[in-house]
Structure 1
Amino acid sequence: MFKKITDMETAKKTAREGAAVSIIIAIITAVTIIISMNVSKIYDMDYWAFGDVAVFLIIALGIYKMSRIAAVLGLTIYWLEQIMMMASHGVKFSVLMIIFTIVYIESIRATFAYHKYKKEQREISA
């Protein structure tokens, strides 16, 4: 189920999938905000909700730059928001939620592996 991370390149490729998921979440959130504010009042949202969009874009940038903190925060914030939605709208699991969770877990693994391989590379070079 989990990808094999064997070097810095596979770690980068795997981690950057987490960055892509963060961008997708930011886009979905932005579209939902715009629709909610202008077309349908499905969710009670205002312009402050764009803060979520900014947070996930910052997380995407951090993961892209191989930040372990950003990878962990991506999964943590994603799940906190899912829990809040479940509390207010009822428990609903989706395939997308499971996929995003797996990609974030992979991203965490990959960012940690990347730094491990980077450290090993520096030790060999020294």
Structure 2
Amino acid sequence: MIENDPYATPQSEIREPAVHAIEVPEEITRHIRYGWIAAVVSGTLTLAMTLIFILGQSEEALLGVWNFVDVVLVFGLAFGIYRNSRIAATLMFSYFLLSKILIMMETGKPAGLVLSIVFLIFYFRAMVSTFRFHSFIDHARRFPPPPRQRVSDDPLFRPKPSAGGPER
């Protein structure tokens, strides 16, 4: 074979860019975690109520089937919040608020108001924290921290050589 083939693809050394793991503060990630957990709890409660409704009433079972769309939507938005999606967090907050307003207008009673406010607080904090998360990541990518330097490599921290033998 010809070692210096002029038609061969040139080879070059490929180095991966230095990527620093960005550590997001706990105060941001905690609210996002609580938001998707609240969404999973809400979806589970909705699923349980839908199954009870379908199994209990056979003549209006079609309305209960439409609640499965609600369950799938809530679980999908919970996954989006888990993945730090600003859109999913905003949609979850807006959807939950709108659905509670419509239920209260339809029934005329503020049923479950306290629990709804608790869920809204979790969703609002998750929504704000997803925006803070992306802002923090963008800032960290624009202005990366300098690479950590080992103390032994720093010339200011090198041990001074001893002039008279072993130290006691």
Q: Return the TM-score normalized by structure 2.
A: 0.65
C-alpha distance in structure 2 between counterparts of 1:47 and 1:58, whole Å: 17
- What SS class does the counterpart of residue 143 from structure 2 fall into? helix
C-alpha distance in structure 1 between counterparts of 2:71 and 2:134, whole Å: 27
Q: How does 1:7-26 map to 2 (within 5 A)?
A: 7-26=24-43
C-alpha distance in structure 2 between counterparts of 1:102 and 1:120, whole Å: 27
- Which runs of 4 or more aligned residues in structure 1 lie more than 2 Å from their structure 2 counterparts after TM superposition? 7-10, 43-46
Q: Which amino acid aligns with 2:115?
A: L
C-alpha distance in structure 1 between counterparts of 2:141 and 2:48, whole Å: 44
Which is bigger in relative contact order (C-alpha 8 A, separation at least 6)? 1
C-alpha distance in structure 2 between counterparts of 1:8 and 1:62, whole Å: 20
The alpha carbon displacement at 1:101 in A equals 0.8
**Counterpart in the other structure of 1:107:** 126
Q: Which amino acid aligns with 1:27?
A: T
The alpha carbon displacement at 1:39 in A equals 2.2
Unmatched runs of 5 consecutive residues or more in structure 2: 1-23, 146-168
Unmatched runs of 5 consecutive residues or more in structure 1: 1-6
Q: How does 1:1-126 map to 2 (within 5 A)?
A: 7-39=24-56, 45-92=63-110, 94-125=113-144
**Counterpart in the other structure of 1:4:** none
The alpha carbon displacement at 1:40 in A equals 5.5
**Identical pairs, percent:** 28
Q: Return the TM-score normalized by structure 1.
A: 0.85
If you compute each CA radius of gyration, which structure gives the higher value, 1 or 2? 2
Root mean square deviation, CA, Å: 2.0
- What SS class does the counterpart of residue 46 from structure 1 fall into? helix
The alpha carbon displacement at 1:121 in A equals 0.7
Total equivalences in the alignment: 119
C-alpha distance in structure 2 between counterparts of 1:125 and 1:50, whole Å: 45
Task: Answer yes or no: is the 8 Å Cα contact 1:8–1:113 preserved in 2.
Answer: no
Task: Answer yes or no: is the 8 Å Cα contact 1:8–1:117 preserved in 2.
Answer: no
